[in-house]
Amino acid sequence: MDSALVWFRNNLRTQDNKPLLKAIASKKRVIGAYFFDPRQFQMSSFGFKKTQKYRAQFLIETVKNLQENLKNNNITLLIFYKKPEEHIKTLIDKYNISEIHSQKEWTQEENLVTSTIQNYLSGTIIHYTYYDQFLFHPEDIPYTNFKDIPEVFTQFRKKCEKEISVRPLLRDAHKLTHINLIGQTTKIPNLETLGLTPFKKDRRSAFPFMGGEESAWQRLRHYFWDTQNLTIYKKTRNGLLGKDYSSKLSAWLANGSISAKQIYWEVKSFEKHIKKNQDTYWLIFELIWRDYFKYISLKHNNHIFKIDGVLQKNYKWKHDKKTLHQWINGTTQYNFVNANMIELKKTGWMSNRGRQNVASFWAKEQEQDWRIGAAYFESMLIDYDVHSNWGNWIYNAGVGNDPRNRKFNIKRQQELYDPNGKFVQNWMQNTLF
């Protein structure tokens, strides 16, 4: 029996998933595969594990939920702790796979894996890839090619909002017959297998959620429909404490448990049935920012990872181990920076307001190599997204897409966003100096 393989990458959902639907449409036996790539849990050149325990645990939960949801559709998800390019050939031979469907990736590490696989596929096996992680689809944007993407976000946003529409959701995946399932079972690795330390969630965490498609929708329903906090999103999004100052959907978006389109159309439904205001629009505004960083990486390729950034500005960056130790462990001269960094270290989460401040402090005030900060965020953040993380860091370091090249007044920021000191006290109650 011919098979179609769905190679899941950062699209860990069963709904609004083009690779999955295309595989089902092939009328062949459909098999899913997910690889915990060992390279993603090794030390990077900057001295941090590329994926630390918080995101790893969230990923484990996500893959477990994906496996369950696929099984409900009579699709087997095979899970491996192996390099994809070293094992997909085995799957091709074992299950007579004649086509592969996956989400298209383009950043350097992901692209290398894809191209390696492409190189050894025979001419009879076709690998279909799809841009499936955008709000505005690349085929629809009002630019002839990616090189025409403007360097200023506002120009991009206004032109897209004026000239194109968000595509409708793809139809739900239908349930295949039970004979589609295959007998082989595989084991999801745990933290110890991945070389990481098990942990208990900190009770103070602003992100105490589990990974997975079902958890993503539980969170969306809570934030939109149950509490209607969406109606005050713009007013509260710069908060620091608690679960509901922002949507917190970024982690599920990052690994594709939910799509940007799904969130967009849910906002539109909310606006139709409950309320439409500047706050509801602002969540869409943030989704467009997310898209923009993806297009910037498509335009500039590996320059988002280089020290001179997309502007190719040659600053003199410092590399001081003591300064790094103080920043990571929250012992700088600013308690607002310290509290945010302790929160990240203990939970894998930090607010948007916190991220901007600690990045500005690291890159603009301390003038330390911004890539070290970006690599630390990559290691620690539950909601790490390669485009948003590195795009935001070049932005904050003055080598990206910030036309104003701003530097944060951290003392003033604390006065504005933590005037009563509750956030600092929450994370530094035993470490204040």
- Res 227: pLDDT: 98
Does 430 score more than 70 pLDDT? no
Q: Does residue 387 register a pLDDT over 60?
A: yes
Region 330-356 average pLDDT: 98
pLDDT of residue 36: 98
Give me the architecture of the 1-132 domain, per CATH: 3-Layer(aba) Sandwich (3.40)
CA–CA gap between residue 335 and residue 139 (Å, rounded): 46
Say whether pLDDT at 433 is over 90: no
Backbone dihedral region for residue 406 (phi beyond 0: left; psi -120 to 50: alpha; all else: beta): beta
Q: With the CA atoms of 126, 253, 324 and 343 taken in that order, what torsion angle do they form, in degrees rounded to the nearest 10?
A: -150
AA identity, residue 13: R
Q: What is the DSSP string of 145-197?
A: SGGGS-SSHHHHHHHHHHH--PPPPPPPPPPPPGGG--S-------TTTTT--
CATH number of 133-166+213-300: 1.25.40.80
pLDDT tens, residue by residue, 177-220: 989 999 888 999 999 999 999 999 999 999 999 999 999 999 99
Q: What is the pLDDT of residue 431?
A: 53
**Listed range (119-128, 276-285, 326-335, 373-382) with the worst mean pLDDT:** 119-128
Whether residue 48 is predicted with pLDDT greater than 50 in this model: the reply is yes
Measured between alpha carbons, how far is 261 from 57 in angstroms, rounded to an integer? 26
Domain 306-428: homologous superfamily in CATH? DNA Cyclobutane Dipyrimidine Photolyase, subunit A, domain 3 (1.10.579.10)
Residue 295 pLDDT grade (very low, low, confident, very high; cuts 50, 70, 90): very high
Task: Output the pLDDT for position 185.
Answer: 83
- For the cut 60, the answer to whether the pLDDT of residue 32 exceeds it is yes
**Per-residue model confidence (pLDDT) at position 113:** 94
Per-residue pLDDT band for 300 (boundaries 50, 70, 90) equals very high
Say if CB 58 and CB 382 are below 8 A apart.
yes
CB neighbour burial string for 214-232, b if at least 16 within 10 angstroms, e if fewer: bbbbebbebbbeeeebbbe
CB 230, CB 271: distance < 8 Å: no
Domain boundaries, the chain: 1-132, 133-166+213-300, 306-428
Mean pLDDT of the chain: 95
Interval 235-258: pLDDT, tens: 999 999 999 999 999 999 999 999
- H/E stretch holding 327: helix 321-329
The tens digit of pLDDT for each residue in 49-102 reads: 999 999 999 999 999 999 999 999 999 999 999 999 999 999 999 999 999 999
CA–CA distance, 74 with 67 (Å, rounded to integer): 10
pLDDT band at 173 (very low <50, low <70, confident <90, very high): confident
List own/partner pairs for 176-179 with CB under 8 A and 24 or more apart: 176/24, 176/30, 176/73, 176/74, 176/75, 177/74, 178/74, 179/74
Question: What pTM does this model have?
Answer: 0.96
Predicted confidence (pLDDT) at residue 409 exceeds the cutoff of 70: yes
- What pLDDT shows up at residue 432? 43
